[in-house]
């Protein structure tokens, strides 16, 4: 079981034990940064539960494992935001719920995976709640999220939670080497900027432009914090061009200010990453309280942009608030 998962050993050991002792829960919350292996672990968990090979559960070769890998096995349902949509709609959750009372097609379990669970609208989360409160014996839910804080506490409390930690560099390098051949210098840079997420490292390797773009935005936000008010509007305009860009940059900003938070508290960066000049500049500019207030503001923005809002206006509000926090 779980041979395909690099790292996350504590979690996979727990899950294996639950399967072997028949103590599988009805609801799980897999949290941790994007691209870290949560969905892959959920898929491997589903294979281990439903595989046809009794002696090697989650064999990876039988028809069930193959179909789960290709996300077309009827007893493993996966929903997430539809392409181009920022949120998981109540209609998607209702469709999933409507099938819960149907017995699994084969095997003992139906596994319902909600990928990007933080993007469920509050009404969608509420409609899910009842199914979690009164689970049918053969249904298992796996909620996958990079922002567990935005999941309703009433839902979180009904799930067994596993938090996925950043991976170490050797594990990430192993994953990268399975995906293709990359220049070693680029790999080292991607590792340093990955924050311990193999998905992010691969993303950066395949999109060197993104790295440049991030550096650009960090410079702009720095000017804003230094009091350049015009940046409120230029940043808001640039970021509001597209919802996906907004979402990605917001996640990056949150991650960034978390790193600054670590430095301000005197902790090392994850994965023995070295602070770069931008880290140092922000570190000198911000204090603990201000930095945390900024993170809170960014999380509020994250909750807001799930809805059909005027992105430009919301970004302006967000940056004005951040500027006020900095001015004190």
**Binding stretches for Zn ion (CB under 5 A):** 51, 53, 59, 62, 65
What count of other Cβ atoms lies within 10 Å of the Cβ of residue 184? Answer: 9
Q: Dihedral, CA atoms, 145, 79, 75, 103, nearest 10 degrees?
A: 100
Which lies closer to Zn ion via its Cβ, residue 3 or residue 242? Answer: 3
Least separation in angstroms between CB 66 and Zn ion: 8
Nearer to Zn ion, 46 or 132 (CB): 46
CA distances in angstroms from 8 to 37, 137, 156, 182, 320, listed in the order given: 9, 28, 21, 25, 40
Q: How far is the CB of 10 from Zn ion (least distance, A)?
A: 24
| CB of 15 or CB of 86, closer to Zn ion | 15
CB of 225 to Zn ion, least distance (A): 53
| Cα 36 to the center of its chain, rounded Å | 8
Nearest approach in angstroms of CB 30 to Zn ion is 21
Give just the sign of the alpha carbon dihedral 299, 213, 37, 258.
negative
Asked whether 1 and 48 are in contact (CB, 8 A), the reply is yes
Closer of 53 and 300 to Zn ion (Cβ): 53
C-alpha distances in angstroms, 169 versus 6, 163, 184, 198? 11, 19, 13, 9
Angle at 76 between CA 105 and CA 16, to 5 degrees: 105
What is the C-alpha separation between 245 and 252, in angstroms, rounded?
10
**Tokens, residue 88:** 């998981």
Q: Which is nearer to Zn ion, 65 or 269 (CB)?
A: 65
Q: How far is the CB of 59 from Zn ion (least distance, A)?
A: 4
Q: Which is nearer to Zn ion, 110 or 279 (CB)?
A: 110
Minimum distance of Zn ion from residue 60's CB (angstroms):
6
């Amino acid at each position: 079981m779980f041979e395909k998962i690099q790292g996350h050993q504590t979690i996979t050991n727990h899950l294996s034990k639950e399967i072997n002792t028949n103590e599988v829960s009805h609801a799980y919350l897999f949290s941790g940064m994007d691209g870290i292996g949560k969905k892959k672990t959920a898929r491997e968990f589903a294979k281990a539960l439903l595989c046809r090979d009794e002696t090697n559960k989650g064999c990876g070769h039988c028809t069930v494992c193959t179909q789960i890998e290709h996300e077309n096995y009827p007893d493993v349902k996966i929903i997430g935001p539809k392409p181009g949509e920022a949120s998981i709609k109540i209609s998607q959750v209702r469709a999933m719920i409507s099938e819960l009372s149907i017995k699994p097609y084969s095997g003992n379990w139906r596994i319902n995976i909600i990928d990007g669970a933080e993007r469920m609208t509050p009404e969608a989360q509420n409609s899910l709640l009842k199914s979690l409160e009164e689970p049918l014996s053969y249904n298992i839910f796996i909620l996958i999220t990079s922002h567990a804080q935005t999941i309703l506490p009433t839902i979180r409390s009904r799930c067994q939670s596993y938090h996925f930690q950043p991976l170490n560099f050797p594990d990430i390098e192993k994953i990268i080497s399975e995906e293709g051949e990359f220049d070693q210098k680029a790999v080292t840079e991607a590792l340093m900027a990955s924050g311990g997420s193999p998905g992010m490292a691969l993303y950066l390797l395949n999109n060197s432009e993104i790295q440049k773009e991030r550096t650009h935005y960090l410079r702009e936000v720095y000017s804003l914090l230094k009091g350049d008010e015009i940046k409120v509007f230029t940043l808001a305009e640039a970021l509001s061009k597209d919802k996906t860009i907004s979402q990605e940059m917001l996640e990056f900003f949150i991650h960034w200010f978390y790193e600054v938070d670590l430095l301000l508290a005197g902790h090392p960066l994850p994965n023995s990453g070295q602070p770069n000049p931008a880290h140092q500049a922000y570190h000198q500019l911000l204090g603990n309280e201000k930095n945390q207030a900024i993170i809170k503001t960014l999380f509020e923005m994250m909750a807001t942009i799930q809805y059909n809002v005027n992105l430009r206006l919301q970004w302006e509000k967000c940056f004005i608030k951040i500027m006020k926090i900095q001015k004190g």
